Structure 1
Amino acid sequence: MLGTMMEVVDTSVANVSLPHMQGTFSAGVDEITWVITSYLVANAVILPITGWLAARFGRKRFYLGALALFTVASLGSGAAPSLPFLIVMRVIQGLAGGAMVPMSQAILLEAFPKEEHGKAMAMFGVGVVFGPIIGPTLGGYITDTMTWRWVFYINLPLGLLGIVLGLLFIHDPPYLRRPEGRVDYASFFFIALGLGSLEVMLNRGERYDWFSSNFIQTFAWLALVGITLFVWRSLTAENPLVDLRLFRNREFASGTLLMFLMGFGLYGSFTMLPLFAQQLMGYTATWAGLVLSPGGVASLVAMAMVGNLIGRVDTRLLVLVGALFNIASLWLLQHINLQVDFVYLMLSRILQGFGLGFLFVPVTAAAFVRLTPEQTGQGTGLFNLLRNEGGSVGIAISATVLSRHVQLHHAHLVERFNPFNPIFAERMTEVSHWLLAVSGHDGVTSQRLALGLLHGELLRQAAALAYADVFWMLSLSFIVFIPFIALLAGRPGTSDPVVH
């Protein structure tokens, strides 16, 4: 769990520090965002093959090696003398961090019997769900009070503690065997090409106006070709790097689909709400993070409850409750405006955080209930890959909807921005007279300044309406989510594993 929280927190904690890194290295916006893109690309590439790597090198050795590499790369990131060096360290962090999360999940599933998988996934969920919530708060506080370098240095004591605990308590299961035959390098190349290109496309798509850009078109084709060849190779190779036949299992396939949809809504809202608070409401990075933090506490409470209910209450009912809480949360956010207060935003996050506890734990437990222990390592890699890709798609589409709908609402509102509108004329007169009284400018200059102030307010109103549209769109992911709940096993603790 410690390794998982380190990795998930690190995915979001650096975001709020990007402007400070940009100043340190005198970098442009396109250059500094590679600090995030490089991490996500490396993370996506390693996730699906972690099961194979763990079998080849031993789960304990592989996990501890990844944790040690992540810790060293954190030190290198904090001490980075240049932007290229920082990006290289972030690639290493992404590779090591992407390996730690599925291995942590596999280790917990191995340590608990099937009837207690709910409790195991509640522990794992603390890192996965709580991490993105405290990440922006922690990053904002550290950046505001120290320097951005400490965003990475905080990983050092946690990493060392995790290594010591791993050496003492983690053991390889007896069934884990080294894969036979030659290494399928073709599959590794195809998956690196496909998922790496997909992450670049999703991360840069909105900035380059999606498919109107040759850059995005190129990476879209590379992603399509790479993923297609990887699927073909995985289904036809004698010893595939990744066993895609796991998706023949109904519970696992439906669980990963639900996790994709949950990642879409979860990461999209986690990204959009702090932006709304900072850009339109004037919150600092720390206060914007505090909007999210109570939701993390609600998630912890819900996970503790659900961990004890799994096996006694139908899993599908628990998941339905979680989906309804998330729909209610996003319904509140659909009605935000520029007069909304801190308590309203925090309440929406508490509802979503509580709902996530009812989603993550039972969905995860149900997804793995019919996998054999030998399949768990590969399953956790694919499961976490789909969650991360759902998050990447959710963030990318949210950013695009926000950008396009700001323009749409601006065009609609500016139609009323004329002297023939009595409300506009009245406000224009009020602001002009006020500026004339306090600024000392002449009447013409005061009118021009008043027009600029009113247009600035119009832009804020258009942006607020666009954010509301984004939250409406994100709520659709949880509405689509509901029909697939029926495909899950009713009580994970009572199902028998598939026998091969």
Structure 2
Amino acid sequence: MNRPAGNPLAGSRALLVLSTAGLGVFITALDQTVVVTALPRVMLDLKIPISRLDQVSWVITAYLLGYTVAMPLIGRLADVYGYNRVYGAALALFCVGSALVAVAPSLEWMVVARVVQAVGGGATVPISLAMAAGALPDRQRGLALGVIAGAAEAGSMLGPAYGGAIVEFWHWRGIFWLNLPQGAVVMLALLWLRKANSRERAPGDRVDYVGGAMLVVALLVISLALSRKGMFTLTSALPFILAGVGLGVVLVLIVFERRQAQPLLPTLLFRSRSFIAANSAQFLVGVCLIIALVTIP
């Protein structure tokens, strides 16, 4: 996301922007982990044997994959076409995906629906950060970003407890039906704030769709290589081939992005040791967390 342009908002309106952006991120972050405690019930309801646990883990993996891929690409779309417009469309897509998950008759359907849901959910993170940063003056920008980051972490942390409570007193499908009214509340708030987050498209603004497509392919292929059985039956050699293809696409992506005037992934960031260290630590923590969340329940 580019640095937001425009003047800071008045106190009450800035608070509403922060609340709206934070709530949107919180709702979509919940769904990263909300199914963890519901997976046993999902397996019983869809008649999935325990021998297919590797495949069931894709209910979580699919969301994390779509969530991650959506951030840079749709974040850039919001830079070009406006925060409110793209945020509203992303939340609508998240709600559509939630409804598709709620009516899922099979594991395969559920995994595809989770990707749809995740693309909309992942888009809320960069847009919320940009909205929050633009709502407050420069000296309070750290506070604004902290509120959004805190909302995202709170959603991920509370997801298992939230999902477990709904499963206990209702049904696992209710987890996803409840996303619809929650998303509607945020979209109504966005309509109220449409002038506060308006942004005119600057001449020459463009979106790096090719870079986005390569990022999707790289993450998908590498995820398949690491999934062992996953949703597909992989031979002993195929995972290594997929890993090689994925890493090859990553290298092509790096070369391609270095030649772009408006790259999706600014390669200069990867020359910063602090940037690399922070993201590496976050990656390792995420890997350990997801492994524990999937296998322990």
Distance 1:20 1:218, change over 3 A: farther
The correspondence for 2:197, drawn from 172, 186, 191, is 172
**What displacement does 1:41 show?**
2.2
Decide whether the 8 Å contact of 1:187 with 1:234 is kept in 2: yes
Amino acid in the other structure paired with 1:148: W
Quote the residue 2:258 is aligned against: 235
Distance 1:164 1:19, change over 3 A: same
Task: Give runs of aligned pairs for residues 126-165 of structure 1, distance below 5 A.
Answer: 126-165=150-189
The correspondence for 1:86, drawn from 110, 135, 139, is 110
Amino acid in the other structure paired with 1:155: N
The question of 1:23 aligning with 2:55 is answered no
**What displacement does 1:35 show?**
1.8
Decide whether the 8 Å contact of 1:37 with 1:200 is kept in 2: no
Amino acid in the other structure paired with 1:5: F
Distance 1:164 1:274, change over 3 A: same
The correspondence for 2:244, drawn from 206, 221, 229, is 221
Whole-angstrom distance in 1 between the partners of 2:31 and 2:141: 26
Whole-angstrom distance in 1 between the partners of 2:267 and 2:235: 33
Indicate the larger mover: 116-125 or 261-270: 261-270
Question: After superposition, what is the alpha-carbon deviation per residue over 1:236-283, rounded to whole angstroms, capped at 9, x for unaligned?
Answer: 1344343333445x5xx624631441452366257538966x6xxxxx
The correspondence for 1:268, drawn from 267, 276, 288, is 288
Quote the residue 2:219 is aligned against: 195
Amino acid in the other structure paired with 2:151: G
Distance 1:136 1:79, change over 3 A: same
Quote the residue 1:68 is aligned against: 92
Distance 1:180 1:134, change over 3 A: closer
The question of 1:3 aligning with 2:24 is answered yes
Distance 1:186 1:121, change over 3 A: closer
Quote the residue 1:44 is aligned against: 68
Whole-angstrom distance in 2 between the partners of 1:186 and 1:254: 28
Decide whether the 8 Å contact of 2:65 with 2:220 is kept in 1: yes
Decide whether the 8 Å contact of 1:57 with 1:178 is kept in 2: no
Quote the residue 1:244 is aligned against: 267
**What displacement does 1:207 show?**
7.7
**What displacement does 1:116 show?**
0.6
**What displacement does 1:119 show?**
1.7
Any unmatched runs of 5+ in structure 2? 1-21
**What displacement does 1:103 show?**
1.0
Q: TM-score if structure 2 supplies the norm length?
A: 0.79
Decide whether the 8 Å contact of 2:81 with 2:201 is kept in 1: no
Distance 1:246 1:123, change over 3 A: same
Whole-angstrom distance in 1 between the partners of 2:192 and 2:276: 32
Decide whether the 8 Å contact of 2:97 with 2:114 is kept in 1: yes
Decide whether the 8 Å contact of 1:21 with 1:32 is kept in 2: no
Whole-angstrom distance in 2 between the partners of 1:112 and 1:233: 35
Q: How many residues align?
A: 270
Whole-angstrom distance in 1 between the partners of 2:268 and 2:134: 21
Whole-angstrom distance in 1 between the partners of 2:267 and 2:202: 19
Structure scoring higher RCO (CA < 8 A, sep ≥ 6) equals 2
Whole-angstrom distance in 1 between the partners of 2:221 and 2:290: 24
**What displacement does 1:234 show?**
0.5
Among all aligned residue pairs of Structure 1 and Structure 2, give the percentage whose two residues are the same amino acid.
Answer: 28
What SS does the aligned partner of 2:172 have? coil
Amino acid in the other structure paired with 1:228: L
**What displacement does 1:219 show?**
2.6
What SS does the aligned partner of 1:80 have? coil
Quote the residue 1:391 is aligned against: none
**What displacement does 1:199 show?**
3.2
Task: Give runs of aligned pairs for residues 355-366 of structure 1, distance below 5 A.
Answer: none
**What displacement does 1:161 show?**
0.6
**What displacement does 1:4 show?**
0.8
Whole-angstrom distance in 2 between the partners of 1:142 and 1:172: 35
Decide whether the 8 Å contact of 2:73 with 2:209 is kept in 1: no
Amino acid in the other structure paired with 1:229: V
Indicate the larger mover: 184-193 or 58-67: 184-193
Amino acid in the other structure paired with 1:3: G
RMSD: 2.9
The correspondence for 2:278, drawn from 258, 270, 283, is 258
Amino acid in the other structure paired with 2:88: L
Decide whether the 8 Å contact of 1:45 with 1:196 is kept in 2: no
Distance 1:151 1:174, change over 3 A: closer
Quote the residue 2:210 is aligned against: 186
**What displacement does 1:205 show?**
5.0
Decide whether the 8 Å contact of 2:34 with 2:163 is kept in 1: yes
- Look at both structures and tell me which one has the larger radius of gyration over its CA atoms: 1
Quote the residue 2:149 is aligned against: 125
**What displacement does 1:196 show?**
2.0
**Going by fraction, where is helix more abundant, 1 or 2?**
1
Any unmatched runs of 5+ in structure 1? 279-500
Distance 1:77 1:200, change over 3 A: same
